[in-house]
């Protein structure tokens, strides 16, 4: 049987039961039932029981279970039962957290998945690539990822980068020709393969294989489950957690030896030491980071920023430079033609006369050398080009009519490197190439000029007039396109060389107003210590005019062109970048150099991009940001974050979210570590002072259950505030566990420890060891619950509305307080929890000690805030 590439397009279409107009809805349904979804099978997912039992994988938990069972067998059934129940509840909580985090990461993956343009029932639709079926007709243009394997059925200079599959780094040209012999993958020139991407041109293909049947699927079949890469913060915390665990284990070991030495029963002493280790080791540290990060990404997705790489969330918090495109990101990308310049005259769009042959010719050229459409109000294509189509409609000229009168016989598509595009048509019996593009680029290639009296050689004076007009338009912030043309011989095969020896026809100037929110977003960036930089393919004067309006630039001297930095060495560029706020006429290679120069200066750079050539710069940047609407699939694939509204303000919002997420993670860690430290201090203190151990093992486990993950997660979802934008960006590479942070943890832990000890002593003096440990248990548990409120902010929150604004934290507090109060007061629970029943006065005392720890820590925050303010005031004097 013939291979697909040995069949003609018609044969392939027949083979897959399709046609050029695409499949019908019914056919798609049937094909899906037969072949499934277009996706690569991921490694087997873990089942819920698997996740549940993984919670017990912890060595200490296993030892604890073993020692609980032993103590049960030896007679202490109550303790054994409570310990097992507490551990099971803990495992259930852990399972729910893991599943939730996985679900939110999965939904993010779906959001950020690739899309494809497909022809179905003769209509072009944009779909998630996973919905493709065999027989679908896909439409491709530069920057698209190939979503499935397919046979070309239409080709306009397609070049494909197949390096992912074949290792060949040069893009390969494709053709429609049917091959006669059997050839290897790299030589199947009429086939497209999933995983490669279009670097140039346009085309259509019929899908012949999807999912695991594609060439890349056959390789992927060998892959096992894909494990998520950890973020630097997770790695950092895991390493810290390990060191801390060793310290705690050592401490517990010494404590065990000491207790046995003092005559304690080894079994009891062992159980206590293990319970203390379980309670003190912050095992939730890195999983809380995952949960908070994934909640953060969900919030960001709702606010139009889709995070593709989890690292980006924490990276966003330290971004110090945002390099942004202009068109569509800082501006609205809603273009309207304002003026023509033709035959040495400036003609406002409202006064265009279609009876004037020159103006009509320019209008026709702008419709012909154009890929956009506007049918029944549905605009498809580049807004620059849609503006030209819309101008035609405003003048009563329909694009479809002009295009059918002068069909396109060839084309050289637009790319941001050449900054021009050309199309070939038969006009007035002549084979004519229409070339439109950036004025400066086209003027270099222009030799003649069209005038009413006929075409003549272009003089220096003509050129100067055009440049002056271009300058005038640009200073008004208008985007200018030049239109030129040239005759070509019949049956001519187009090459880039043909875009020379051109005849100048006219200029078209269009307005693309800044987005309303850009100015405020730029101001916010500056307030947050972030430098906004505009990098655009547009003209320097136009770019500077827009940049000035939104506050990125003050003076034209802060603008330069790509050509100006071309001859600079990397060192020179590094010295120059702080002085430049606008880079114009930039090509994608310049973008990489600018990012690197800033990075060399120790800055964390976010960079936007949309085109196929932007992918390397997006990868180079610390946070590559792709445009969701106008961006190519290749750019999205390379980016760490995708903006679903292409808006600069969304990047600033994402930075704010990133800073808030980081802040919340910090609060959660502060809560966990200081509380655990308080517990250890109490035990240490009691043992040094020669008192009996202040807690029973079940107390420690109960405290661990109630006051570990729940309030920590609640702190992780603390409502975001714009306060974080008043601070400077976090230094690159700064560890979360700074000296200052650790000293705060130490001090707060100390206060909790002291109050717990006070509680213990007061109980102990009233009625001996059991009441002492009941008091210590109650005080530590409640102090830690109250401590959640301390960790909401670096400033005091006690008498502010902020104290109450996190309902999750209020819920975690209420649940904990009700349960501990029940344990301390309900007679039925005393035996189980090894406590003495408290009367109302005693319960009040326990609450008082816990509240005192809250008050003391709040007072500490108040002193810190005041002294920081004084320091700042003295500094600014």
Question: Is residue 416 at the binding interface for ligand ATP, with CB under 6 A as the rule?
Answer: yes
Q: Which is nearer to ligand ATP, 324 or 783 (CB)?
A: 324
Measured distance CA(512)–CA(331) in Å, rounded: 6
Question: Is residue 382 at the binding interface for ligand ATP, with CB under 6 A as the rule?
Answer: yes
Q: Which is nearer to ligand ATP, 438 or 679 (CB)?
A: 438
Question: Is residue 512 at the binding interface for ligand ATP, with CB under 6 A as the rule?
Answer: no
Question: Is residue 594 at the binding interface for ligand ATP, with CB under 6 A as the rule?
Answer: no
Q: CA end-to-end span of the chain, whole Å?
A: 87
Q: Which contiguous run of DSSP H or E holds residue 798?
A: none
CB atoms within 10 A of CB 175: 11
Transcribe 524-553 into DSSP letters.
HHHHTT-EEEEE-SS-HHHHHHHHHHHTS-
Q: Which is nearer to ligand ATP, 414 or 764 (CB)?
A: 414
Cβ 354 to ligand ATP shortest distance, Å = 22
Measured distance CA(474)–CA(541) in Å, rounded: 5
Helix (H, G, I), strand (E, B) or coil at 209: strand
Q: Which is nearer to ligand ATP, 319 or 438 (CB)?
A: 438
With contacts defined by CB under 6 A, name the span among 28-36, 114-122, 382-390, 487-495 that binds ligand ATP: 382-390
Question: Is residue 384 at the binding interface for ligand ATP, with CB under 6 A as the rule?
Answer: yes
Range 428-457, binding ligand ATP (CB under 6 A): 436-438
Question: Is residue 419 at the binding interface for ligand ATP, with CB under 6 A as the rule?
Answer: yes
Cβ 610 to ligand ATP shortest distance, Å = 7
How many residues bind ligand ATP, per CB under 6 A?
Answer: 18
Measured distance CA(61)–CA(103) in Å, rounded: 26
Can you name the residues that pair with 683 across neighbouring β-strands?
none
Cβ 411 to ligand ATP shortest distance, Å = 11
Cβ 537 to ligand ATP shortest distance, Å = 2
With contacts defined by CB under 6 A, name the span among 63-71, 110-118, 418-426, 864-872 that binds ligand ATP: 418-426
Structure tokens at 586: 């930039």
Question: Is residue 131 at the binding interface for ligand ATP, with CB under 6 A as the rule?
Answer: no
With contacts defined by CB under 6 A, name the span among 274-282, 322-330, 465-473, 491-499 that binds ligand ATP: 322-330
Do residues 504 and 463 touch, judged by C-beta distance below 8 A? no
Q: What separation in angstroms does the CA of 743 have from each of 198, 675, 677, 747, 793? A: 55, 14, 12, 6, 16
Q: Which is nearer to ligand ATP, 204 or 590 (CB)?
A: 590
With contacts defined by CB under 6 A, name the span among 234-242, 243-251, 380-388, 797-805 that binds ligand ATP: 380-388
Cβ 788 to ligand ATP shortest distance, Å = 46
Q: What separation in angstroms does the CA of 847 have from each of 349, 672, 783, 791, 838? A: 77, 21, 8, 19, 12
Helix (H, G, I), strand (E, B) or coil at 612: helix
Measured distance CA(9)–CA(23) in Å, rounded: 16
Q: Which is nearer to ligand ATP, 516 or 740 (CB)?
A: 516
Listed in sequence order, the residues at least 6 apart from 216 whose beta carbon sits closer than 8 Å to its beta carbon are: 40, 164, 165, 193, 194, 195
With contacts defined by CB under 6 A, name the span among 89-97, 321-329, 395-403, 681-689 that binds ligand ATP: 321-329
Task: Using the Cα atoms of residue 465, residue 467, residue 470 and residue 475 in order, give the sign of their dihedral.
Answer: negative
Measured distance CA(722)–CA(524) in Å, rounded: 10
Cβ 326 to ligand ATP shortest distance, Å = 3
Q: Which is nearer to ligand ATP, 129 or 412 (CB)?
A: 412
Cβ 627 to ligand ATP shortest distance, Å = 9
Range 325-354, binding ligand ATP (CB under 6 A): 325-327
Range 450-489, binding ligand ATP (CB under 6 A): 481
Question: Is residue 716 at the binding interface for ligand ATP, with CB under 6 A as the rule?
Answer: no
Pairing of strands 502-511, 345-348: unpaired
Q: Burial level of 243, CB count in 10 A (0-12/13-18/19+)?
A: exposed
Q: Which is nearer to ligand ATP, 104 or 384 (CB)?
A: 384
Spatial CA neighbour of 83 closest among 114, 109, 60, 104: 60
Q: Which is nearer to ligand ATP, 591 or 792 (CB)?
A: 591
Q: For this structure, is 325 an active site residue?
A: yes
Cβ 457 to ligand ATP shortest distance, Å = 25
Taking CB atoms within 8 Å and a gap of at least 24, the contacts of 445-451 are: 445/484, 445/499, 445/500, 445/501, 445/502, 446/484, 446/502, 446/503, 446/504, 447/501, 447/502, 447/503, 448/502, 448/503, 448/504, 449/503, 449/504, 450/343, 450/358, 450/503, 450/504, 450/505, 450/506, 451/343
Structure tokens at 822: 């029940």
Measured distance CA(36)–CA(29) in Å, rounded: 10
Among candidate residues 325, 512, 622, 646, the one labeled active-site is: 325
Question: Is residue 414 at the binding interface for ligand ATP, with CB under 6 A as the rule?
Answer: yes
Using CB positions, name the residue nearest to ligand ATP. Answer: 537
Question: Is residue 385 at the binding interface for ligand ATP, with CB under 6 A as the rule?
Answer: yes
The contact mask relative to ligand ATP for 530-549 (x = CB under 6 A, - = no) is: ------xxx-----------
Helix (H, G, I), strand (E, B) or coil at 839: coil
Q: What is the DSSP letter of 145?
A: B
Measured distance CA(282)–CA(665) in Å, rounded: 14
Question: Is residue 420 at the binding interface for ligand ATP, with CB under 6 A as the rule?
Answer: yes
Q: Which is nearer to ligand ATP, 418 or 601 (CB)?
A: 418
Cβ 615 to ligand ATP shortest distance, Å = 15
Question: Is residue 421 at the binding interface for ligand ATP, with CB under 6 A as the rule?
Answer: yes
Question: Is residue 411 at the binding interface for ligand ATP, with CB under 6 A as the rule?
Answer: no
Cβ 421 to ligand ATP shortest distance, Å = 4
Pairing of strands 149-161, 172-173: antiparallel
Question: Is residue 499 at the binding interface for ligand ATP, with CB under 6 A as the rule?
Answer: no
Cβ 397 to ligand ATP shortest distance, Å = 19
Q: Which is nearer to ligand ATP, 192 or 635 (CB)?
A: 635
With contacts defined by CB under 6 A, name the span among 67-75, 377-385, 698-706, 823-831 that binds ligand ATP: 377-385
Structure tokens at 71: 């103590």
Which residues are part of the catalytic machinery? 325
Summarize as ranges the residues that interact with ligand ATP (CB under 6 A).
325-327, 382, 384-385, 414, 416, 419-421, 436-438, 481, 536-538
């Amino acid at each position: 049987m013939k291979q697909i590439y040995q069949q003609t397009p018609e044969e392939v279409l027949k083979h897959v039961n399709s046609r050029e107009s695409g499949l019908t809805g019914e056919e798609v349904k049937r094909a899906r039932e037969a072949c499934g979804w277009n996706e690569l099978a991921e490694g087997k997912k873990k089942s819920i029981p698997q996740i549940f039992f993984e919670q017990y994988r912890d060595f200490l938990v296993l030892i604890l279970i073993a020692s609980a069972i032993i103590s049960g067998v030896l007679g202490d059934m109550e303790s054994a039962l409570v310990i097992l129940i507490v551990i099971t509840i803990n495992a259930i909580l852990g399972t729910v957290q893991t599943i939730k985090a996985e679900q939110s990461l999965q939904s993010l993956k779906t959001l950020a998945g690739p899309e494809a343009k497909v022809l179905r029932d003769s209509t072009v639709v944009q779909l998630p690539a996973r919905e493709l079926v065999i027989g679908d007709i896909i439409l491709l243009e530069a920057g698209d990822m190939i979503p499935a394997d397919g046979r070309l059925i239409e080709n306009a200079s397609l070049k494909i980068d197949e390096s992912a599959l074949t290792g060949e780094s040069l893009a390969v040209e494709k053709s429609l020709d049917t091959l006669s012999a059997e050839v290897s993958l790299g030589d199947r020139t009429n086939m497209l393969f999933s995983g490669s991407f279009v670097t140039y041109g346009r085309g259509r293909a019929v899908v012949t294989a999807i999912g695991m049947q594609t060439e890349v699927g056959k390789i992927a079949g060998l892959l096992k489950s894909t494990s998520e890469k950890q973020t630097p913060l997770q790695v950092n915390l895991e390493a810290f957690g390990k060191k801390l665990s060793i310290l705690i284990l050592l401490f517990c070991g010494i404590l065990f030896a000491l207790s046995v030495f003092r005559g304690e029963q080894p079994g009891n002493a062992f159980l206590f030491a293990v319970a203390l280790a379980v309670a003190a080791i912050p095992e939730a540290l890195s999983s809380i980071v995952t949960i908070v990060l994934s909640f953060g990404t969900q919030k960001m997705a709702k606010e139009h920023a889709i995070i593709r790489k989890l690292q980006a969330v924490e990276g966003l918090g330290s971004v110090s430079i945002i390099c942004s495109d202009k068109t569509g990101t800082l501006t609205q990308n809603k273009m309207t033609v304002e003026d023509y310049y033709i035959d040495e005259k400036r003609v406002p769009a409202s006064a265009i006369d279609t009876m004037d042959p020159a103006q009509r010719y320019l209008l026709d050229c702008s419709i012909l050398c154009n890929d956009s459409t506007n049918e029944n109000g549905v605009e498809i294509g580049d807004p620059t080009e849609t503006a030209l189509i819309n101008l035609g409609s405003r003048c009563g000229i329909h694009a479809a009519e002009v295009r059918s009168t002068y069909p396109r016989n060839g084309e050289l598509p637009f790319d941001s490197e050449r900054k021009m595009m050309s199309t070939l048509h038969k006009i007035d019996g002549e084979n004519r190439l229409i070339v439109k593009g950036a004025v400066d680029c086209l003027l270099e290639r222009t030799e003649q000029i069209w005038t009413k009296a006929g075409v003549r050689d272009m003089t220096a004076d003509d050129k100067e007039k055009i440049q002056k007009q271009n300058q005038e338009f640009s200073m008004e912030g208008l985007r200018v396109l030049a239109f030129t043309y040239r005759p070509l011989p019949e049956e001519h095969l187009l090459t880039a060389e043909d875009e020379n020896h051109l005849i100048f026809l006219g200029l078209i100037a269009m307005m693309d107003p800044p987005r309303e929110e850009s100015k405020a977003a730029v101001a916010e960036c500056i307030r947050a210590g972030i430098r906004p930089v505009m990098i655009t393919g547009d003209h320097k004067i136009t770019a500077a005019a827009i940049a000035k309006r939104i506050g990125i630039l003050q003076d034209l001297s802060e603008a330069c062109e790509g050509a100006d930095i071309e001859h600079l060495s990397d060192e020179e560029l590094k010295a120059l970048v702080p002085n430049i706020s606008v880079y114009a006429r930039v090509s994608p290679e310049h973008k990489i150099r600018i990012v690197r120069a800033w990075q060399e200066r120790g800055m964390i750079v976010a960079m936007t991009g949309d085109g196929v050539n932007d992918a390397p710069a997006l990868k180079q940047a610390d946070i590559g940001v792709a445009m969701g609407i106008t961006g190519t699939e290749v750019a999205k694939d390379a980016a760490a974050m995708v903006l679903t509204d292409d808006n600069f303000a969304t990047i600033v919002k994402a930075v704010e979210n990133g800073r808030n997420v980081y802040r919340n993670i910090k609060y959660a860690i502060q809560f966990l570590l200081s509380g655990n430290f308080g517990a250890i201090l109490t035990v240490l203190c009691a043992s040094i002072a020669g008192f009996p151990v202040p807690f029973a093992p079940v107390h420690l486990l109960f405290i661990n259950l109630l006051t570990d993950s729940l309030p920590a997660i609640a702190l992780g979802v603390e409502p975001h505030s714009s306060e974080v934008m008043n601070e400077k960006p976090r230094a690159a590479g700064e560890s979360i566990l700074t000296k200052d942070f650790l000293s705060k943890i130490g001090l707060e832990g100390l206060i909790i420890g002291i109050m717990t000890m006070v509680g213990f002593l007061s109980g102990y003096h009233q009625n001996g060891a059991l009441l002492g440990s009941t008091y210590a248990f109650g005080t530590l548990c409640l102090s830690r619950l109250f401590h959640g409120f301390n960790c909401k902010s670096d400033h005091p929150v006690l008498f502010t509305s902020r104290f109450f604004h996190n309902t999750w934290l209020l819920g975690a507090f209420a649940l904990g307080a009700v349960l501990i109060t029940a344990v301390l007061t309900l007679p039925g629970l005393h035996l189980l929890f090894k406590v003495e029943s408290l009367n109302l006065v005693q319960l009040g005392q326990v609450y008082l000690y816990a509240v005192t720890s809250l008050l003391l820590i709040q007072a500490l925050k108040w002193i810190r805030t005041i002294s920081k303010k004084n320091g700042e005031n003295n500094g600014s004097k």
